[in-house]
């Protein structure tokens, strides 16, 4: 199953009311918490992190602003740069380097009880 199909499937599950095929920021956050990060254990979170870090063709050990923007675009969500930067600021609490590391990703996942 490719990422575009999965993105459209997830959007259609969340966007049942308006059927517009687009998401509001709150709906996007809901997806991030309930769908994309619906993991049962740390092993599955460990599998997910490199997939996110590699979004948009980036080969990296972190999730950068550009990577997060690529993820949002792949989902068809046009988030503002400020909204994306805020998402990174909320997660980037271990080294404050402007990127989300593997440890920060795990921390967010556990804090949000998203798995």
Summarize pLDDT for 26-54 with one digit per residue, the tens: 766 666 666 555 555 677 778 888 888 88
63's tokens: 């999730």
Residue percentage of the chain with pLDDT more than 90:
25
Give phi and psi for 42, each to the nearest 5: -65, -30
- Threshold 0.85, pTM exceeds: no
Summarize pLDDT for 62-72 with one digit per residue, the tens: 999 999 998 88
Q: Provide mean pLDDT across the span 15-20.
A: 64
Element (H, E) at 100: strand 100-101
| Cα gap 7→11, rounded to integer Å | 6
26's tokens: 């709150």
């Amino acid at each position: 199953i490719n990422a575009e199909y999965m993105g459209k499937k997830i959007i259609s599950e969340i966007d049942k009311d308006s059927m517009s095929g687009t998401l509001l920021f709150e709906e996007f956050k809901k997806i991030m918490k309930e769908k994309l990060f619906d993991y049962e254990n740390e092993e599955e979170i460990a599998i997910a992190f490199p997939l996110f870090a590699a979004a948009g063709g980036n080969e990296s050990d972190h999730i950068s602003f550009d990577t997060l923007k690529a993820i949002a675009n792949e989902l068809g969500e046009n988030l503002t740069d400020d909204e994306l930067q805020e998402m990174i600021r909320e997660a980037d609490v271990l080294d404050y380097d402007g990127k989300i590391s593997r440890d920060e990703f795990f921390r967010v996942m556990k804090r949000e009880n998203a798995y």
